[in-house]
Structure 1
Amino acid sequence: MLVSKYFKLNRSQATLDFLDIHIDKDIPVFVDPTSLRSLKTEWGHHCVSLLQNYFSCVLSAIRKGDDERAKTLLSCLNERNEFHLGYSKKKSRGHALGPASADEIWKSLSKSKAATTGLLTDLEDAVLFVDGVGPDMLSDAVCNIIRGPLIEYTQNACLYYEIPMEKEVSSGPVWNAHLERWEQSLIELPLARGAPIILIPKVVVRAKQSYNSNEYYRHYLMPVLQKHHKDTNSSLVHVLKGKKNKGEKRVYKTDLYELYGADKLASAKLTVAHPSALTNYRDAKKSTQAPPLDHTALAKLENIPNPDFPALLNEATKLRPGSKDAYLYEDAIEKFISGFLYPSLSFPVKQDGIHDGRKRIDITYVNSAKSGFFEWLSRHYAASHIFVECKNYGKEVGNPEVDQLAGRFSPSRGQVGILIARSVADKNLLLQRCKDTAADGRGFIIFLDDIDLRELIGQRYDVISGDSNHLLYKRFKALIS
């Protein structure tokens, strides 16, 4: 059973910011450290900082020969079930480092030149060079290290989606980067059939881990070794004698495997001698980061239908204009926008207070786009956040509404917003007001009505992928032309 069904949220995965996990078994997806690094938000930076701090402490203990501290640090990455990610086919059981496996990982790290020479710098490097650390274990370890931010995210998500929480639930080990130790406390968390649940933003999960030991060894380390043996004209060099490739030097990978071996200890030892292979691999991973899972992939994983965007929009447009249904309209628009503009926009907050709560924004999104219209915005304008104001009006939208949204902008928060209303008598006049606001340097407001939202449904791919032949791009260009 999915979390959304268990807690009767009346939402599908498309309209939820978190991964809609099963409460009693795992979903075969992972939290990849590179996905956290690509998330340019305060929350993402906090997670990356925790990973770096924790792993630095582990490596420092090993290099100093402080074996007990290293084992203690590793053993607290224990097997817990709150995240429900990974390959477990039946009951979720976790694959992180329990006391027994922690001892094995400690032995592998202690023996590995990668750990003792400074070659290891990031947690994902362990997948390449440390026996016993695979993709599933890495993901669970990451989730445990960033347990603190994930608990905070879960608590915020529960308040946002009205998921009940229970008090005095064990937090599990939480990494304290300031004191460089694990701590536990009693906190509020949701319980499903008596077991705690920790939610994860769906924008950071991936179908597989980015780092792969076989890929690195075969496609990055081996070519460097082949070149090295050619340059030194070693005994492994074969000079071809055929007419087609006469005189060409070749070094066969099978000979290299036989000479050096192909396990992770060998990979670490060879990488110390040829660090360019690891540099090339890291650079390649930075330039080819996997995008977040799209709606189709998530639907397939969870065996649910693909999102029905016309139906989501109809939930908003079927409401009668007027103040009576203003909250229902805002809620329906948030569901539509959250699904329609995922993964470009994430981490929604409704009625977000600014200026010590004196002003409120209907919906605030983090701009997480890696491609498309919103990524273009983030490169050219102050658009770290996108603000959405919803007006369930059946009347003219005038200067007060435009000024209200413009008053929410700032260089640090962002200066791009979307004003959504049911309809206006003079649309051209409202668009001109938005253009005047931009010309005055007060920010960029994209106006959309019911008709515009229906038009956008057929243009979703263009908005997300980057084709500029869509309404959002045209409407924004009109503001600055």
Structure 2
Amino acid sequence: MVTVSKQFGITGPVPFIDVEVAADNRLYLDPRAVRLIKSPQPFADEAVRCADTFLSTVTACIFDGSPGALRRGEALLQRFIEPWETRLGMSEEGFHGHGGASVVGTWIWETLTGRVEPLVRIGILHQLEDLPLFVDGVDKDITSDVTTRIMFGPLARFTEQMVATYPEFTSNGHKVRKVRKQVWNPETCEWNEAEFTLPVVDGKVLVLVPTGWARPTLLMSATRFYDTTVLDFAQMQQAVLSSAGRLIKTRKLDLRKQQGLEPGRDTILTVMLRAIQNNEDLLALFKAFVDERFESDSTEDAAAA
């Protein structure tokens, strides 16, 4: 297995994910992780701004509702290109494995303007990491691909900084190449092109990903949301007090078998809308749970190190 550090002869720890350069790596860029890690700077803040302005621009088109705005919203979601430069994910699970980026963009658009539009309009669904909770077919692979394209500018600029930091990228016969790539511009809220100088491996440019930005699973997946926050709410709705004053809850295993509570995104949406009627935002509760667990795990990892 030839990793980036072995390929270029870099010794010691590196601040980027040391992926295998000749194969897909089963790691996925996670927008929630980028938001929580907040480093390295300024790239983390830039990446989060790209993600937030992109989705806010798409949802603004939905709020507008005019034919031109709706066409623009869908078009913005159909500009994703297979993000092979990072070597993350698995190609058969990504855009190509699902019929192409335009198809995936249509899935997302039809969901945002269809069954989850109420969540969009009341401002609950507003972050990129929310999408895999509600869009069928969008899991860690597609989320990673979409996130990579939207955050490509900060990722490429981070890579350029690594090239400047480690002379190994341009020594011993190794070369860099100037390329023009599509990037999301958070200032104009449009897709633009920008030029970057990136390392080359086997004739293909390489984009490095900061440590911690990619994971084997998403922090916010539909399965995790359903198994924790959604079923927690269902438990409390069905809970009864015993004669002794003890709260009795239905087991989650039994809830999963109940009609209307089966695992899936339809159940997630149904329960979420029911919770909203009770003035409860399950998505906010889930994010608080995820963030707290992430902080706890990070603290434990730091202590172990």
Matches of 1:35 and 1:107 in 2, distance apart? Answer: 26
Q: Does residue 255 of structure 2 align to residue 253 of structure 1? A: yes
8 Å contact from structure 1 (residues 220, 280) kept in 2? yes
In the other structure, the counterpart of 2:224 is: 215
- The alpha carbon displacement at 1:181 in A equals 0.5
Equivalent position SS for 2:89? coil
Matches of 1:265 and 1:167 in 2, distance apart? Answer: 46
Within-5 A mapping of 1:101-140: 101-111=104-114, 112=116, 113-140=118-145
Please say which structure displays the higher CA radius of gyration: 1
Q: Does residue 264 of structure 2 align to residue 263 of structure 1? A: yes
Matches of 2:144 and 2:81 in 1, distance apart? Answer: 13
8 Å contact from structure 2 (residues 184, 190) kept in 1? yes
Selected match of 1:158 from 159, 163, 167: 163
Selected match of 1:87 from 90, 93, 109: 90
**Distance change >3 Å, CA 265–CA 63, structure 1 → 2:** farther
Q: Deviations over 1:171-197 (max 9, x none)?
A: 2x2110110001113332122222111
Q: Deviations over 1:374-413 (max 9, x none)?
A: xxxxxxxxxxxxxxxxxxxxxxxxxxxxxxxxxxxxxxxx
Matches of 1:93 and 1:174 in 2, distance apart? Answer: 20
Q: Deviations over 1:184-217 (max 9, x none)?
A: 1333212222211111112333232101212212
Q: Does residue 299 of structure 2 align to residue 465 of structure 1? A: no
Matches of 2:18 and 2:247 in 1, distance apart? Answer: 60
Amino acid corresponding to residue 168 of structure 1 in structure 2: K
- Structure whose residues are more often helix by fraction: 2
Within-5 A mapping of 1:6-405: 6-7=7-8, 9-11=9-11, 14-40=12-38, 41-65=41-65, 66-88=69-91, 98-111=101-114, 112=116, 113-162=118-167, 163-164=169-170, 165-171=175-181, 173-230=182-239, 250=250, 252-254=254-256, 256=258, 258-259=259-260, 262-274=263-275, 275-289=280-294, 371=299
Matches of 1:97 and 1:57 in 2, distance apart? Answer: 22
Name segments (4+ residues, structure 1) moved above 6 Å: 89-97, 243-247
User: Given the two structures, how large is their TM-score scaled by the length of structure 1?
Assistant: 0.53
Matches of 2:101 and 2:95 in 1, distance apart? Answer: 15
8 Å contact from structure 1 (residues 82, 196) kept in 2? yes
- The alpha carbon displacement at 1:230 in A equals 4.6
Structure 2: tracts of 5 or more residues without a match = none
Q: Deviations over 1:105-159 (max 9, x none)?
A: 2112211233344220211111111212101211222221111111111111112
**Distance change >3 Å, CA 166–CA 122, structure 1 → 2:** same
Equivalent position SS for 1:280? helix
8 Å contact from structure 1 (residues 30, 206) kept in 2? yes
Over the matched positions of the two proteins, sequence identity in percent amounts to 22
Greater CA deviation, 131-140 or 273-282? 273-282
User: Given the two structures, how large is their TM-score scaled by the length of structure 2?
Assistant: 0.80
Amino acid corresponding to residue 61 of structure 1 in structure 2: C
8 Å contact from structure 2 (residues 177, 205) kept in 1? no
